[in-house]
Amino acid sequence: MFAVQAFVASNLAVTAVVASRLIRVTLSWREWAAVLGVVAGVGLLGSSAGAEGAAQVGAVFKLALIVAIAGLAVLGLAAAKLNEPYRTTALGLTAGFGYGVLSIAARVLTGFSPLELARDPAAYAVAAAGIISFMFYATALEGGSVTVATAAVVLAETIPPAVIGVIFLGDQTRPGLSVVAWGGFFIAVASAVMLARFGEAHQTEDVAMADAAARRQANAGPAAAGLLFWWPVDLQFFNALLGTAVPDTTGAS
């Protein structure tokens, strides 16, 4: 788990390099150092991670994942009502914890046949965690800083699953290389956090944030196809996907 989660976080380094080449985004020396840190950290992890631990866990563990997702849903709804700057950070952390639960649930799946998935509580945890985490992350990006939200997600989705993998799932390093593995893990994650602004293409972040805040005030509870009337944010992009019209309540032409 600790190796895989660090690899997931390292995608920001790839995004940063591609952005510097294709869309001419200028990277500071600190960001180039972070790219090198991600590469070095992932390299240390790859050379020191041991064999995957036993993935078999009991039904209680899998049911606990579902309970955790339900708890995160409640926390996320509460976080959405906070004022900035706490709102974006809280939503990002909630989404990150949800993605962490998703990765743990995927790890403990017993199989991938339709019958096995239908019988496995972990499969339902994967689906629920994916939906909840996506919506809270989208909510955080809608009206908050991309950098803050992405950094919170990276931290929350990497560190807790790595610890759980070691404690409950038998993950381990190669003999005598535990210090190298954990060093590589924290270097990779810390460097990914430094590249958090590449979590989303956002050339006009300030304008988008102001527009989102105005839309949220004018339309406090819109819902995709009227099904999510309880959701405390503006979800006009979901309505667009579903082909439904969203009335302009801001008075803008």
- For residue 15, the one-letter residue type is T
pLDDT higher than threshold 70 for residue 217: no
Q: What would the pLDDT profile of 232-243 be if each residue is shown by its tens digit?
A: 544 444 454 455
- Phi then psi for 49, rounded to 5 degrees? -70, 140
Closest by CA position to 98, among listed 66, 123, 130: 130
Q: What would the pLDDT profile of 130-158 be if each residue is shown by its tens digit?
A: 999 999 999 988 877 787 888 889 888 98
197 vs 242, residue with greater confidence: 197
Q: What would the pLDDT profile of 84-117 be if each residue is shown by its tens digit?
A: 878 999 999 999 999 999 999 998 888 889 999 9
Q: How many CB atoms lie within 10 A of CB 13?
A: 24
Q: Give the pair of three-digit tokens for residue 82.
A: 């906070």
Q: What would the pLDDT profile of 10-59 be if each residue is shown by its tens digit?
A: 777 887 888 778 877 788 888 888 888 888 888 888 778 776 655 578 88
- DSSP-assigned beta bridge partners for residue 49: 173
176: left (phi over 0), alpha (psi -120 to 50) or beta: left
Closest by CA position to 80, among listed 214, 218, 234: 234
The DSSP string of 105-132 is HHHT----SHHHHHH-HHHHHHHHHHHH
Helix axes 146-168, 86-107, angle to 10 degrees: 30
pLDDT higher than threshold 60 for residue 64: yes
* Residues of the chain above pLDDT 90, percent: 25
**In whole angstroms, what is the distance from residue 243 CA to residue 253 CA?**
21
3-class secondary-structure state, position 173: strand
**In whole angstroms, what is the distance from residue 113 CA to residue 120 CA?**
11
**In whole angstroms, what is the distance from residue 21 CA to residue 81 CA?**
39
**In whole angstroms, what is the distance from residue 161 CA to residue 106 CA?**
11
- For residue 133, the one-letter residue type is S
CA 122 to chain centre: 18
**In whole angstroms, what is the distance from residue 145 CA to residue 205 CA?**
7
* Integer CA distances (angstroms), 104 to 130, 133, 135, 154, in order: 12, 14, 19, 15
